[in-house]
Structure 1
């Protein structure tokens, strides 16, 4: 379920101080109910799972078309990414985040997201190509519908590459909403429920 932007902007996330020049694209509720110490499990699942982007024929088709166009038009060439076209957000981190565990890179999707930092309730990964510099922000928040409970929350922040990047982001928005994000989050929820016993055992 998509959430109001204030679900992200009203929380004192560290990303606010690190990426103030990025635009908040959208915020999503992740159906992963848990306790206060379950955030590392969510990070591990998102970083290592491969089911989400393959969760429906629509998602598979959209990803296939996107990567074919990217290959033809050079959108994802090495010289358009992190450390070449744009510097990594790691260069902006304060000392405490640089010294803390970095967190895992995102391996479960075809887009190469590189981890920026991870805290007790926040994980940030980034990517860049010819169209955009994007940030995936995953947080662990209290769930008002489950007293004492927590759940995941995902925000997408972007800094488009000029007019071309802005037009590109506007053009893919309907496909992201209808064919990608919803299916990905549903798949995350299914996997979360399927591994409930494993998390319970690990917490003992």
Structure 2
């Protein structure tokens, strides 16, 4: 199964909590993840995410681009703490129901993706990130694949920070589509095959 971009309705027609939490965010991308499984596969998908290491798993071109982004971010001051969550922008945790706010405060995130845990429930999970250019959300979900099985789905939601954020998102779009996303999703696919085989062969 190959990573595939989906129509926005693949995300917007689902009854996800994120619609209530981030109605003022723009839906940037929706991807079908190469993670085929059964109806109870969402915990395995989360485990794959937590075990991912993009810098180690990605091909050289994608790793170089990833490192270059963080290097440029440091040089240009894009990722200063004062421009992040709780400083330039309020965390979306403030919009969560009380029980999920408490869960978010006590959650210890694993993995190496640069997103702060927001919430997890049923078949969906969200993390957020903020810097000088935007406030973003990565939303993971577990959905029927239309052929009798299930698979993961990833949606990216953004709120650009003024003109700078709009220009930044436009500038990185080709690199995300051609290099970063394909490399990241293929690394997830390899981890998924190993993790799902292990999960389904346990005695």
TM-score normalised to the size of structure 1?
0.91
User: 2:129, 2:199 → 1: CA distance?
Assistant: 29
Question: Counterparts of 1:21 and 1:190 in 2: how far apart (Å)?
Answer: 35
Q: CA deviation at 1:49?
A: 1.4
The aligned counterpart of 2:36 is: 33
8 Å contact kept, 1:106–1:115: no
Question: Which residue of the other structure, out of 14, 18, 34, is the alignment partner of 2:17?
Answer: 14
CA contact under 8 A between 2:83 and 2:132: conserved in structure 1?
A: yes
Q: Secondary structure at the match of 1:157?
A: strand
Q: Is contact 2:93–2:101 with CA below 8 Å preserved after alignment? A: yes
Partner of 2:164: 164
Match of 2:109 in 1: 105
What is the Cα deviation at residue 104 of structure 1? 5.5
The corresponding residue for 2:117 is: 115
Match of 2:76 in 1: 73
What TM-score do the two structures reach when normalised by structure 2? Answer: 0.91
8 Å Cα contact 1:22-1:158 kept in structure 2:
yes
DSSP 3-state at the match of 2:33: strand
1:173 aligns with 2:179: no
Query: Secondary structure of the residue that 1:137 maps to in structure 2?
Result: strand
**Any idea what SS the aligned residue of 1:42 has?**
helix
User: RMSD between aligned alpha carbons?
Assistant: 1.8
1:135 to 134, 137, 140: 137
Distance in 2 (CA, whole Å) between partners of 1:48 and 1:87 is: 28
Count of residue pairs brought into register by the alignment: 199
Tell me how far apart the structure 1 counterparts of residues 178 and 56 of structure 2 sit (CA, whole Å).
13
After TM superposition, give the deviation of residue 186 of structure 1 in Å: 1.2
The answer to whether the 8 A contact 2:44-2:196 is kept is: no
Unaligned runs of 5+ in 1: none
5+ residue gaps in structure 2? none
Distance in 2 between residues matched to 1:40 and 1:103, nearest whole Å: 16
